[in-house]
Structure 1
Amino acid sequence: MKSYSGLRDSSHFPGSSQVREFTQKSDPPVLPQHHLERARQFLWVDEPAQLQELASRLSTESRVAVDLEADSLYRYRERICLVQLCSSGVTALVDTLALGDLQPLRLMLEDASKEKVFHGADYDLRLLKAVAGINPRGVFDTMVAAQCLGVRQLGLSDLLEARLGVRLEKKFQRADWGKRPLPQAMVQYAVEDTCYLLALRDSLACELEARGRMEWARGHFLNLEKIEPLRREPPDALRTHGARQLDDQGRAVLQALLEWREEEARRRDAPVFKILSTETLVLLAKERPRNLQAMLKTSGITRKVLNLWGEALARAIEEGLRRPPLPLPRVPSYRQNPPGSRRRLLALKEIRDQKANQEGLPPGLLCPNSVLQALAITPPGEIQRRMEELLRPWQLGLLGSAFVQALLGGGRKDRG
């Protein structure tokens, strides 16, 4: 393994066909020595043999901190650009753009007996499932753990500063991780995103155990493992913010404009918001300018936009005007639900919100609205069974008796 004392060229990494180890020269935070070493030294992995070697090393570890860097702000279809991994024995940055395949890591990531520590795991798990076909198990999410403790400042940098005295640089959160070579500052940012996660996990887990809330967190971790892969939904005017301010024909025009933008973004390999904003498309659908000069009066349509896409936008508007009107779907009425369901739902929300406030928890973490809605329409004879299906034991302990009382005793005078 080749060793470098610092990154000689501040703009990129030196080339090598071997796993490379770098020693950072930054001033370390005050932490135990083994955490400092993880912050200073890491492996840059960009060849299949290196990845196999890394996977072999990680197979002996009981837990691994994991983070991903993607390029969703810069590409039409986001890619996993970098995977950061940190255990007690190794810290590594895996260049997935160079490798194109993460399968050697599958066994470790899908092994439920090995804990994978993420911060804000939701997006990373969805992306791993969608792009790599990997379904991580044994998840510990430090953000969820902090939520279960009633922490309000949930950013990684906030938690590290509060609990470990570590201050992280934030300026690369929205950077383009798809560019190569990566500047040294971005590489160090990526290393620091994981090298303190295990220590943070231990700090949070200790408090969760002391306060009897580890079971709460574990239940949410298991739910994260079942999360659906990231999917790209086709453009839908009826689900677009601002569609309600349009008439039926305007929504048909908006649908045509959204479809044009989607295709243009795909063709240019750019995120849709970098083509034209949804707000601008809604205005075009509302005003429906009949010529390019009139189009210039629409907010968001500059001379540059007009030169690039004026003709295409005009064609999309004409296409939308030829389509059948697109009415809003009929909103289901509470009257279609069992009598008293609305009153029961409001009672359940009040109970949930009060208990969440007492425990210092976000209401949705204590019990999501979707669960409350399902319980509110449950027939009396099925309430106990349904609650046991939808709620975990710790949730039943906090909410069960009050929920039963509200479900069995509420709604008699409610007409809908």
Structure 2
Amino acid sequence: MEDLTALHSATTSALLAATRTASHLANSDLPFHRSLDAELSSALDVQNARLFALAERLLGTATRSAAETGVRSHAPRLRNIDGVEGNWRAVVDVVDSLLERADTALDEFTGAVRRLSPVGEQQKAGFAAGGGVKPGRTAAALRNWDIEKPQLRFEHVPRNDETGLFVPLLESKPHATKPLMEVQVFEQPYQREIEEFQYQDSVYTQAEPIPYHPFESTTATFVDTEEAMYEMLGELKQATEIAIDLEHHDQRSYIGIVSLMQISTRHKDWIVDTLKPWRRKLQCLNEVFANPSVIKILHGAYMDVIWLQRDLGLYLVGLFDTHYACRALGYSGGSLAFLLKKFAGVDAQKQYQMADWRIRPLPQELVDYARSDTHYLLYIFDEMRNELIQRSDLTRPNHEGDKLWDVLQKSSETALRRYEHPIYDTELGQGPVGWYKLLDRTPALLSREQFAVFRAVHKWRDDVAREQDDSVHFVLPNHHIFTLAKQMPETKEGVLNTAHPATQTVRLRVDELLAVVSSAKEKGKTGDDMMDVLNRVEPQLPRKISREVAVAHSVAAFLPKASNSAVNGANPASSVLPLRSAASAFWGPALASTAQQERREYSTAAPGISLTVPLPPLTAEIFADPPEATYTPVRSASPEPTAVAPEDDGHDDIFVLKQLGKKRKRAAMGSEPRDAVMDSMAANNDEVAVMPDSDAERARGKAERKKARKDGKRAQRAISGAGGLNYDDPVVDDEQPFDYASAPSILHPPRESREEARERRKKVVNPYAKSSDVPKALGRVQKERSGRSMTYKS
């Protein structure tokens, strides 16, 4: 323990020193210092190479230690900064694996996972048979195993090319009210039984929940033989409620595969291996699953119902889905992990939810996780049933307030679901595996060629996935389809760079994928328009188009119809503007690029360059200075007599529009002549003055306007001094000039006495003195008060 403490202290100190040094260097301008000192540049290069080598060695050590626990991976090569950027995802995976292993070790050390570890010789012999389970395996390790496909050993190997109706796998129909021979091929075999099913009175009876057995003191029986299957069936027939759950794998299978089935009663748990070649013999469990006297409790059975009938030929009559109970009760969560925590106090290890459930023998972590999904579910059912009954109003007609009835009805509707073969629709992209939903959820802007490539690559991915029996996402992710459609690479390197990181299937079939892209690009020049096809699917719904498409439609409304079809090459019969032109409207194809960003020369004389909006020719007249603006009067259609210019009356020739809602200012003495009022009255003249034509007339008008302003100032002084206009008073021609010599100094102002300062402050006019005398407006909010009206006040 002392050695561990010393090692931890030394490691922490070294990491802190390295972190501080790196932060200090990051704040410095290293490129600048490199350019000044060649020795410093060489020293930095040496240290960079040393750090890269240390990082690569650390990653190699971590990868080798992970390989001992079952993880097959390769250490990323870090030769330079480009190697770090190119292998960053691999570096993150190694670090995540280390953190998960540390987390698992801490949980085991503190005992946090001890309560979910069943004990017993049966577990040791049953689950660890065939090599045992290595300790410390992480969730990442359980997801990265390269396992041989178990479906290749099935008695009925999946074909993935069925185009007709799904034929049920049933060889017999237990508990049937309608014989199997009378069931049509398009019907759900147990449709009549589910529709006529009536839940027992015990479901509507509130009772004390039956506690579950402790997880630590019980074990699960692993069913991997036919003898064990029939033995389990005999015990299940004695139960009145059973809990069921499935573990599904859909990464290395086109339609998916049920890898595990968990079943629990009040006293026992089973884990059924559904990857055996004789897996279809499990349909004998319909003697319990289709028995109306046995209630089947599942959580989120929407897809479980499909998987059971597709792979095993099993059907559920008398289903109770706890997910619908969560919604009816208004819980804040609707997952099984939420229910386990709420009612059993168990923290579900959800990091194993995405594990590869095809692993055999099953690791202990997966055994515990799978068993916990059904071990507590019957107790949860008791608690939720009682709460549904308590919160239901059974007195209202038509089950309006019956929450339990709503849950049972929705559960029955889920049990009626029917599996159908996934059929690919190339033209309109309909169906669960079609391209329409993917394109409809993503408002992409695709030209005719890009749209053709998108559909062709999507179809190629589906064909390859069916052939290899892999999921479509394992072959090619969705975002890579959009990237390939937009870039349309022309070389193998372009395909690999565009679909980076490339999947194993893409790397092996890159030539095939490149041929698909090239052929679709050529056919797309005269192919379908994306919006036309989408409108054919759902013409009554508004399309999800972006702002760029809306702007394109707006521009099309102002362009001539001939130019829309001729310039853009659009179909005249189509009313939709192409979403994206093949070349830039201004720069032509200069900005076009491929995955390698190849530069292409722009030639103005190259044919085939079209402009969406025609631009005027660039001539010398455009860059010349504009001519001096002149006033040109607008002439009416009918001839009018030439008006004689009135004589100048001394008013300002500038015309000012009067503001709406403002009254004209009137003279202080209404009987005085209007010529004596200040020049603001001239601004209210409603006649438009004609602009003078010559320099002499402009100079004369300027002098007259100056004289008018002086006359207005004299009139204003006369009004303020004598209380009115007096034309007999002598008028001073001009103001006295300012005497700068006798003015007081600004830098050294003379000091004034207290009396002078008091008198000066009295003479200061406060412009805001009467601002509070204006009438107040009505309050913003008017509230009615009890006992008093706002209209009539007492």
Structure 2-normalised TM-score?
Answer: 0.37
Change in Cα spacing, 1:299 to 1:256, as seen in structure 2 (3 Å) is closer
Q: Map residues 388-399 of structure 1 onto 2, 5 A cutoff.
A: none
What corresponds to 2:339 in structure 1?
Answer: 159
What corresponds to 2:295 in structure 1?
Answer: 115
Is the CA contact 1:73–1:174 (under 8 Å) kept in the aligned structure 2? no
What corresponds to 1:333 in structure 2?
Answer: 540
Is the CA contact 2:237–2:288 (under 8 Å) kept in the aligned structure 1? yes
Is the CA contact 2:247–2:258 (under 8 Å) kept in the aligned structure 1? yes
Tell me by how many angstroms 1:33 deviates: 6.6
Which of 119, 124, 138 is the aligned partner of 1:8? 124
Distance in 2 of aligned mates of 1:245 and 1:110? 50
Which of 246, 265, 275 is the aligned partner of 1:97? 275
What corresponds to 1:210 in structure 2?
Answer: 390
Tell me by how many angstroms 1:133 deviates: 2.4
What corresponds to 2:356 in structure 1?
Answer: 176
Distance in 2 of aligned mates of 1:307 and 1:165? 48
Tell me by how many angstroms 1:208 deviates: 0.5
Name the structure, 1 or 2, with higher relative contact order (CA <8 Å, separation 6+). Answer: 1
Is the CA contact 1:128–1:135 (under 8 Å) kept in the aligned structure 2? yes
Tell me by how many angstroms 1:200 deviates: 0.6
Distance in 1 of aligned mates of 2:504 and 2:340? 44
Distance in 2 of aligned mates of 1:44 and 1:181? 11
Q: SS in structure 2 opposite 1:64? A: strand
Of stretches 274-283 and 298-307 in structure 1, the one that deviates more from structure 2 is 298-307
Change in Cα spacing, 1:203 to 1:176, as seen in structure 2 (3 Å) is same
Distance in 2 of aligned mates of 1:283 and 1:318? 15
Which of 438, 461, 464 is the aligned partner of 1:240? 438
What corresponds to 2:238 in structure 1?
Answer: 60
Is the CA contact 2:245–2:262 (under 8 Å) kept in the aligned structure 1? yes
Tell me by how many angstroms 1:250 deviates: 2.4
Q: SS in structure 2 opposite 1:35? A: coil
Q: SS in structure 1 opposite 2:246? A: strand
- Residue 528 of structure 2 aligns with an amino acid whose one-letter code is P
Distance in 2 of aligned mates of 1:91 and 1:276? 39
- Residue 437 of structure 2 aligns with an amino acid whose one-letter code is R
Which of 366, 370, 374 is the aligned partner of 1:194? 374
Q: Map residues 265-284 of structure 1 onto 2, 5 A cutoff.
A: 265-284=465-484
Tell me by how many angstroms 1:172 deviates: 1.2
Is the CA contact 1:51–1:104 (under 8 Å) kept in the aligned structure 2? no
Change in Cα spacing, 1:160 to 1:303, as seen in structure 2 (3 Å) is closer
Tell me by how many angstroms 1:300 deviates: 2.9
Is the CA contact 2:130–2:361 (under 8 Å) kept in the aligned structure 1? no
Which of 316, 339, 343 is the aligned partner of 2:516? 316
> Which runs of no fewer than 5 residues in structure 2 stay unpaired?
1-118, 132-208, 393-402, 425-432, 543-794
Distance in 1 of aligned mates of 2:226 and 2:445? 53
Q: SS in structure 2 opposite 1:66? A: strand
Tell me by how many angstroms 1:73 deviates: 3.0
- Residue 43 of structure 1 aligns with an amino acid whose one-letter code is T
Is the CA contact 1:81–1:177 (under 8 Å) kept in the aligned structure 2? yes
Is the CA contact 1:68–1:82 (under 8 Å) kept in the aligned structure 2? yes
Distance in 2 of aligned mates of 1:303 and 1:14? 32
**Residues 220-270 of structure 1 deviation map (CA, whole Å, 9 limit, x = unaligned):** 111111123264342433332347422233222222211221232234332
Q: Which of the pair is proportionally richer in helix? A: 1
Q: SS in structure 2 opposite 1:120? A: coil
Q: Map residues 345-384 of structure 1 onto 2, 5 A cutoff.
A: none
Distance in 2 of aligned mates of 1:139 and 1:198? 13
Change in Cα spacing, 1:303 to 1:205, as seen in structure 2 (3 Å) is closer
- Residue 385 of structure 2 aligns with an amino acid whose one-letter code is A
Tell me by how many angstroms 1:57 deviates: 1.3
Which of 224, 227, 230 is the aligned partner of 2:414? 224
Change in Cα spacing, 1:165 to 1:237, as seen in structure 2 (3 Å) is closer
Distance in 1 of aligned mates of 2:384 and 2:484? 50
Distance in 2 of aligned mates of 1:221 and 1:296? 47
Q: Percent identity?
A: 26
Change in Cα spacing, 1:196 to 1:230, as seen in structure 2 (3 Å) is farther
Of stretches 65-74 and 232-241 in structure 1, the one that deviates more from structure 2 is 232-241
Is the CA contact 2:306–2:417 (under 8 Å) kept in the aligned structure 1? yes
- Residue 66 of structure 1 aligns with an amino acid whose one-letter code is I
Is the CA contact 2:220–2:271 (under 8 Å) kept in the aligned structure 1? yes
Distance in 1 of aligned mates of 2:343 and 2:321? 16
Change in Cα spacing, 1:130 to 1:245, as seen in structure 2 (3 Å) is farther
Distance in 1 of aligned mates of 2:270 and 2:225? 13
Q: Which of the pair is proportionally richer in strand? A: 1
- Residue 46 of structure 1 aligns with an amino acid whose one-letter code is D
Is the CA contact 2:210–2:382 (under 8 Å) kept in the aligned structure 1? no
Change in Cα spacing, 1:208 to 1:33, as seen in structure 2 (3 Å) is closer
Change in Cα spacing, 1:110 to 1:86, as seen in structure 2 (3 Å) is same
Change in Cα spacing, 1:118 to 1:273, as seen in structure 2 (3 Å) is same
Cα-Cα RMSD: 2.9
Is the CA contact 1:39–1:195 (under 8 Å) kept in the aligned structure 2? no
Q: SS in structure 1 opposite 2:244? A: strand
> Which runs of no fewer than 5 residues in structure 1 stay unpaired?
16-30, 336-416
Change in Cα spacing, 1:64 to 1:107, as seen in structure 2 (3 Å) is same
Is the CA contact 2:475–2:506 (under 8 Å) kept in the aligned structure 1? no
Is the CA contact 1:39–1:192 (under 8 Å) kept in the aligned structure 2? no
Q: SS in structure 1 opposite 2:221? A: strand
Q: SS in structure 1 opposite 2:261? A: strand
Is the CA contact 1:254–1:285 (under 8 Å) kept in the aligned structure 2? yes
- Residue 223 of structure 1 aligns with an amino acid whose one-letter code is E
Is the CA contact 1:84–1:190 (under 8 Å) kept in the aligned structure 2? yes
Tell me by how many angstroms 1:104 deviates: 1.6
Q: Map residues 283-294 of structure 1 onto 2, 5 A cutoff.
A: 283-294=483-494
What corresponds to 1:256 in structure 2?
Answer: 456
Is the CA contact 2:475–2:503 (under 8 Å) kept in the aligned structure 1? no
Which of 226, 242, 247 is the aligned partner of 1:69? 247
Change in Cα spacing, 1:243 to 1:274, as seen in structure 2 (3 Å) is farther
Aligned length: 318
**Residues 135-183 of structure 1 deviation map (CA, whole Å, 9 limit, x = unaligned):** 2111111111111100121121211111222222212100111121111
1:41 aligns with 2:41: no
Q: SS in structure 2 opposite 1:81? A: strand
Tell me by how many angstroms 1:287 deviates: 2.0
